Amino acid sequence: MKRVAIFGLGLIGGSLALALRDKGLAERIVGVEASEENALKALELGLVDEVVEMEEAIEGAGGEPRADLIVLATPVDVTPVLAVKVLNKVTAGQTVMDMGSIKEELCEVIEQHPARGRFVATHPMWGTENSGPEAAVHGAFAGRTAVICDREKSDADALATVEAMYEALGAKLVYMTAAEQDLHTAYVSHISHITSFALALTVLEKEREEEHIFDLAGGGFESTVRLAKSSPATWLPIFTGNKYNVLDVLREHIHQLQIIRRLLERDDHEGLAAAMKKANTIKRILP
């Protein structure tokens, strides 16, 4: 690809820029960024060659060609409207993709757009608790799963462009509908963040009474609560945008906690051991 435009230069967009450079997949990378601070940092770090306005990113200027690939790595609450604005300006031969954690609303918004075929809805299953351009890392998507949603609604050449990019970055491709993606991601990603936020709040509340509680915090606590450092600006739109799926998994999670609580209250050692043994079978998914 000669020219790639990335909208949103935080963790995901910045890491994609690094990956494209490392693999030699783009001759020139331009960014679009609402935050002036993030734009300056992205330039300082060399994530992009230039930060420009939306129209120039898509259409090119000063003799530059149109962007071959336009990537939306923005917060999920702004992506649907942005996707429409971008699709209004693209021409045949340009490909648009997103990298957001939820898909159903986005795909519904662009469903009837005349340029819908130029759009490929994707979700790379990778992230960290950090945010901003300085959080970008090399090799972010290697060995990770990238979900492509509603692929039959994308033009064959646009789909092939995105598939080839992810494969070159070392990602494994999985195909789902937008609704399936939102449901499954609630179970394997969103609930992990909610649980981490809740655990952090629990310990912070207890710490008001026990001043030395954090002196005892070890690796287990650190790994469990790590996601609570994640940015509310990123996760509030995800939780609210995927509200019904998140509530569904949250109800089940609370139910399982209540079962464990009752086993402890009854001193049911056998039942508690059986529950933990059943939980151990997660090794089938996470070896």
What are the tens digits of pLDDT across the range 265-275? 999 999 999 99
User: What are the structural domain ranges in the chain?
Assistant: 3-176, 181-284
Give the CATH H-level superfamily of domain 181-284: 6-phosphogluconate dehydrogenase C-terminal like domain (1.10.3660.10)
What percentage of the chain's residues is helix, strand, coil (to nearest 5)?
A: 55, 15, 30
Contacts of 146 (CB under 8 A, 6+ apart): 122, 123, 124, 125, 166, 171, 172, 173, 174
Whether 193 contacts 225, CB under 8 Å: no
Q: How confident is the model at residue 210 (pLDDT cuts 50, 70, 90)?
A: low
The residue ranking higher by pLDDT, 217 or 8, is: 8
Q: How confident is the model at residue 219, as a pLDDT?
A: 66
Q: What is the pLDDT of residues 158-191, one digit of tens each?
A: 999 999 999 999 999 999 999 999 999 999 899 9
**pLDDT (mean) for 210-225:** 70
Q: Is-contact 39 8, C-beta < 8 A?
A: no
What does the pLDDT read at residue 21?
Answer: 96
- pLDDT(220) > 90: no
Residue 277 burial (10 A CB sphere; 0-12, 13-18, 19+)? exposed
Contact criterion met (CB below 8 Å) for 74 and 81: no
| Domain 3-176 CATH class label | alpha beta
Specify the pTM: 0.90
